[in-house]
Amino acid sequence: MTVAKTREKQSRKGFKPGQSNNPSGRPYRSRNKSTLALETLLEGEGEAITRKTIENALNGDMTAIKLCIEMLIPLRKDGPICFDLTEMKSADDSAKAMASILRTLANGDITPNEASSVSRIIEAYRKTLETAELEDRLEALEQKV
């Protein structure tokens, strides 16, 4: 079913997008009862639990060590990508930069996700350069008049 048909069907029912059909339901941003219960149990004990975990880690408990390391050094979602990229001085240079990314991807030096991320950055930079070039041309035309 298409989005248009779904919206049409909803409008026939009388529901508007973003409107709940259960107004007495769970309030927005309310917290789970189990989360609240756990917070109540741990209230005031956080420091003692943290201290005990550190003591266990220092005594060689691998699970405690893992917990402490994860808290001290969170996992990185991504890292720096190193490869040769042609310099972009004008919007026309973006094709060369994209070719450089494609070559690096084909060589296996970067992953498809990394190539996609860099491509989006290059596209945004291309648009910025293009806008700057258009503004310069417009300013030159205005000065001639």
pLDDT tens digits for range 18-59 = 666 777 777 777 788 888 888 888 888 888 888 999 999 999
Segment 92-104, tens digit of pLDDT: 889 999 999 999 9
For the chain, how far is it from start to end, CA to CA, in angstroms? 56
